[in-house]
Structure 1
Amino acid sequence: TDLFDFSHTDLDTSSLPEGLGFAGFRLLHHSDWERDIAAFLGASYFRATSASLQFGLSARGLAVNTAMSEPEEFPEFTHFWFERPADADQVIVYAFLDSPSVTGAYRFIIERVSGDVIMDVDAALYPRKPIERLGVAPLTSMYQVGENSRRVAWDWRPEIHDSDGLAIHTGGGEWIWRPLANPPQLRFNAFADNNPRGFGLLQRDRNFDHYQDDGVFYERRPSLWVEPRGDWGKGSIQLVEIPTLDETFDNIVAFWNPDKPVQPGEETLFAYRLSWTGRAPRPSLARCVATRTGLGGVVGQTREYFSWRFAVDFLGGPIDGLAGDVEVVPVIEHSSGRVEITSARPLHAINGYRAMFDVVPPEDDTTPINLRLYLKRKDNGEPLTETWIYQWSPPPMDQRDLHNPTHL
């Protein structure tokens, strides 16, 4: 409590309960003191609600050396200043960031737009020493169990996650969807880009039946979209997936890492918009709405070797109302092994399309296999969907059970 000094404020400290201290602050709606808008709480963490009035994933002011061999450094917002709002739907917050490696000044213009919370962020960073991995606009979320990742699926609920995928709108205009996973070991991926148009951790699955959680309502969790303002140049959107056995552990991190190293004593400026929303930006092409995985092979036939099946569903865009005589084909790339039993067919239950294929991994090799998929028209090669990317880690040989039924 000695960290909290109220002697230079107008607060009547004699009215405060003994032992009262603060780790941050909350923003509430001026006409509804039960309605959370945003909260800044702990280190440089903060989060906001969307129209659902639910908290979910968090953002941070800055990430320093995340997922490296040495311990991660967590900068802190040590001071806050508030500007009196000019109207009831906007507030401006200033924050001072400090850590052994860097100091910084932040301004947050926070407002509600159609129920969503929009934050325009300006950050001025002043490194004290070289930083090997700087994470700008870092997002932190949780993914334990989902349709595609059931390694720890012993809970009664079918799915448990605050976000189900990383979306990227590249500087070249491509839309990419990377489903999240709860891997058996830490995974780090970097997606190179130049002046990205946006990225975010999204909760696309909004169906209560897929979660069955009537306590925390995962289907209501906000998505968080980052939209750079100004020239960010070359760098990469980096994704960290950490194994977890518990939903209270935030195990997903995504951020922008600039190619140009920051130099001690130099000023580095970043500006971006954060949108806490249930209506994240959508590509004009069909978007991925589900990824499911399981044992491969042909039903009713004895499996002679191990393979893993992927079923990827797409919805919307040019697929919606596509003429029945148009042939749709999958375009699949893979980093190793081989792909077989490929198909793309209408999925009338959702008025979309489903792509399916099996991956046969190399023998005695557990190296992760990178996959890339989109659907196109066969007649003119026109892309119909965003690009789905995935990283699958084949199990060790002694865990590649074929599960053949005894009657075959």
Structure 2
Amino acid sequence: MWPPHLSRRRVLSGLAGLAGVTAAGLPPVRVVAAPDETTFFARLVDRAAAKANATYKAPADDLPEVLADLTYDDIRDIRFRRDRAIWHGESPFEVHLLHLGHYLKRPVRVHTVENGRVTPETYRPDLFDFGRTGIDASAFGELGFSGLRLMYALNDPTVMDELIVLQGASYFRALCAGAVYGLSARGVAVNTARPDGEEFPAFTELYVERPAAGAESIVLYALLDGPSLAGAYRFEVTPGMTTRTTVQARLFARRRVEQLGMGVLTSMFDFAPVDRAGVEDFRPRVHDSQGLSMRTESGEWLWRPLNNPDRLEVNVFQMPNPGGFGLMQRVRQFDRYQDLEAQYHRRPSAWVTPHGDWGDGAVILVEIPTPDETRDNIVAFWKPAIPFEPGLPLAMDYDIDWTLDGPRPERAWCEDTRAGHYGLPSTELDETMRRLGRKWVIDFVGGPVRNLCTPDDVAVVASVDGGRMDRPVAVLNDHTGGVRVFLDTVANGHGPMNLRCHLARDGAPISETWTMQWRPPAAA
């Protein structure tokens, strides 16, 4: 897969002018203060504050020509020598360093920390196997690295697996037991999908704290810098069936940031049964993430299936002090994907749980058109309700859980969504109805709808904005042990149609709320 920060930047540069984002209210801004900050992290926070008070200097990206000319496959062929790993054979965790080249042009300085003492890691050609590239690195000097990878015996106590990678801007991604790499997280998002263009601040320095013998977690630190802001981060990574990254972020603005994104997740959605228009592919579905799940402060759960739209789409979910949100891969059966190589059924979900009161704000979902699965085109994050201003530092702490079995509501939840021909398949539709009409098929499973005797035990509560809806139909689904809901809808013209649906009993919700935005294709 192409690196997400590059392909997304290219797409956004051409489409950002089409987006509009809803404004929100005004929360208080929290200052930088946390009683559990270590002495080292406190020093890093001070450095970030000092950077924000100074003029931004873009890091050099003048790589040696032989590295700049590498292809994507070439850079993948340059491999760190495992026997050179930091703490190799001395710790439950090892550190591998990653080479610069191709799109990875800006160096990151990597350090280790032990008992408060910081040791820089120096670039040496003998750290790497250059494979078929045949590169002679003897003249590179102190080149730096593109990032780092942490290793841990995640699946087999005798085998060191990849656990987390930090590489490219402020991107990082982690694995839980049994998973393969899929979606990514970011330290911060700045003006994503806004007409004035997105900014990509970068981790310029990374620090890894040596874990104690037998440690079950490891701590990393990062210094962030960009034209509009600077920041310091502390990551505590705890591997397992669910791998948790506990994040402490301390940010300082150089200039006003209209839209700041925190708890940022980036993923890929190409197609699924909800959106197969024009797709000719033997695979039933191709995506790293299936939908956006959200839990409000009041305990309501929302589910928004993802789309691959034909234009940039931005959805805003007003959500003060969110209970959590995440990009989830709920369908886990191989036969629902049929991809032996990509193994989409093993791509992890990522769930963000805020610590403390985040105040007023909204969860933002950005969907970008993509022609194929090589580009990440989905972004989700929480946006504070007011712009980020110089002189008002921000402290935000949260967990990201990387899991194959993400949090689900206590109520029934939406396992899958399908869409297609309005009405019965035999119904003859004119051109307008073929374009504006849409049938939605939603499978609710689990909780109160598990193994019902009759669909009359539940009521379908559905609404539409920007269109009309026929009377909803609910039937039992013996294959899932749940309830299948059919919604036949017709959009008003070419504008977006917004749908909501949940199941109820005696007037009270017994399922999460399914929500969807759909825009009809343009007339021929």
TM-score (norm 1): 0.91
Match of 1:350 among 480, 487, 494: 480
SS state at 2:448 partner: helix
Q: Counterparts of 2:330 and 2:455 in 1: how far apart (Å)?
A: 30
Deviation, structure 1 residue 260: 2.6
Q: State whether residues 37 and 53 of structure 1, in contact with CA within 8 Å, keep that contact through their aligned partners in structure 2.
A: no
Q: Once structures 1 and 2 are overlaid, which stretch shifts more, 181-190 or 87-96?
A: 87-96
Match of 1:170 among 283, 290, 296: 296
Q: Residue type matched to 1:52 in 2?
A: G
The residue number in structure 1 matching 2:87 is: none
Distance change in 2, residues 1:89/1:129 (3 Å): same
Q: Residue type matched to 1:101 in 2?
A: S
Q: Counterparts of 1:374 and 1:157 in 2: how far apart (Å)?
A: 30
Q: How many residues align?
A: 393
Q: Residue type matched to 1:369 in 2?
A: M
The residue number in structure 1 matching 2:149 is: 26
Deviation, structure 1 residue 70: 2.0
Match of 1:76 among 202, 209, 226: 202
1:205 aligns with 2:360: no
Distance change in 2, residues 1:199/1:349 (3 Å): same
Q: Residue type matched to 2:234 in 1?
A: R
Q: Residue type matched to 1:111 in 2?
A: T
Structure 1's unaligned 5+ residue stretches are: 399-408
1:239 aligns with 2:357: no
Distance change in 2, residues 1:325/1:308 (3 Å): closer
The residue number in structure 2 matching 1:41 is: 167
1:331 aligns with 2:461: yes
Q: Counterparts of 1:184 and 1:325 in 2: how far apart (Å)?
A: 36
The residue number in structure 1 matching 2:321 is: 195
Q: State whether residues 343 and 357 of structure 1, in contact with CA within 8 Å, keep that contact through their aligned partners in structure 2.
A: yes
Q: Counterparts of 2:110 and 2:322 in 1: how far apart (Å)?
A: 43
Distance change in 2, residues 1:266/1:55 (3 Å): same
Distance change in 2, residues 1:245/1:57 (3 Å): same
The residue number in structure 2 matching 1:376 is: 504
What pairs with 1:108-119 in structure 2 (closer than 5 Å)?
A: 108-113=235-240, 115-119=241-245
The residue number in structure 2 matching 1:97 is: 224
Q: 1 or 2, which has the higher strand percentage? A: 1
Q: Counterparts of 1:254 and 1:6 in 2: how far apart (Å)?
A: 29
Q: State whether residues 170 and 193 of structure 1, in contact with CA within 8 Å, keep that contact through their aligned partners in structure 2.
A: yes
Q: Once structures 1 and 2 are overlaid, which stretch shifts more, 67-76 or 26-35?
A: 26-35
The residue number in structure 2 matching 1:319 is: 449
Distance change in 2, residues 1:211/1:70 (3 Å): same
Q: State whether residues 259 and 388 of structure 2, in contact with CA within 8 Å, keep that contact through their aligned partners in structure 1.
A: no
Identity, % of aligned pairs?
Answer: 43
Distance change in 2, residues 1:318/1:10 (3 Å): closer
Q: Residue type matched to 2:146 in 1?
A: A
Structure 2's unaligned 5+ residue stretches are: 1-62, 65-106, 112-118, 129-136
Q: Residue type matched to 1:105 in 2?
A: A
Q: Residue type matched to 1:25 in 2?
A: L
SS state at 1:194 partner: coil
Q: Residue type matched to 1:258 in 2?
A: P
Q: Counterparts of 2:278 and 2:147 in 1: how far apart (Å)?
A: 34
Distance change in 2, residues 1:10/1:177 (3 Å): closer
The residue number in structure 1 matching 2:391 is: 265
RMSD over aligned Cα, in angstroms?
Answer: 2.1
1:53 aligns with 2:183: no
Q: Residue by residue, what CA displacement relative to the aligned partner does 1:122-176 show, whole Å, maximum 9, x if unpaired? A: 0000000000110011100000011101135222211110000000001111000
The residue number in structure 1 matching 2:71 is: none
Deviation, structure 1 residue 336: 2.0
SS state at 1:284 partner: coil
The residue number in structure 2 matching 1:133 is: 259
Q: Residue type matched to 1:48 in 2?
A: A
Q: Counterparts of 2:453 and 2:163 in 1: how far apart (Å)?
A: 45
Q: State whether residues 102 and 128 of structure 1, in contact with CA within 8 Å, keep that contact through their aligned partners in structure 2.
A: yes
Q: Counterparts of 2:159 and 2:193 in 1: how far apart (Å)?
A: 39
Q: Counterparts of 1:248 and 1:32 in 2: how far apart (Å)?
A: 33
Match of 1:309 among 429, 439, 446: 439
Q: State whether residues 289 and 328 of structure 2, in contact with CA within 8 Å, keep that contact through their aligned partners in structure 1.
A: yes
Q: Residue type matched to 1:26 in 2?
A: R
Match of 2:233 among 95, 103, 106: 106
Deviation, structure 1 residue 322: 3.1
SS state at 2:215 partner: coil
Q: Once structures 1 and 2 are overlaid, which stretch shifts more, 6-15 or 118-127?
A: 6-15
TM-score (norm 2): 0.72
Q: State whether residues 164 and 204 of structure 1, in contact with CA within 8 Å, keep that contact through their aligned partners in structure 2.
A: yes
Deviation, structure 1 residue 10: 6.6
1:180 aligns with 2:180: no
Match of 1:360 among 475, 478, 490: 490
Deviation, structure 1 residue 397: 4.0
Deviation, structure 1 residue 6: 8.6
SS state at 2:307 partner: coil
Deviation, structure 1 residue 384: 2.0
Q: Once structures 1 and 2 are overlaid, which stretch shifts more, 49-58 or 215-224?
A: 49-58
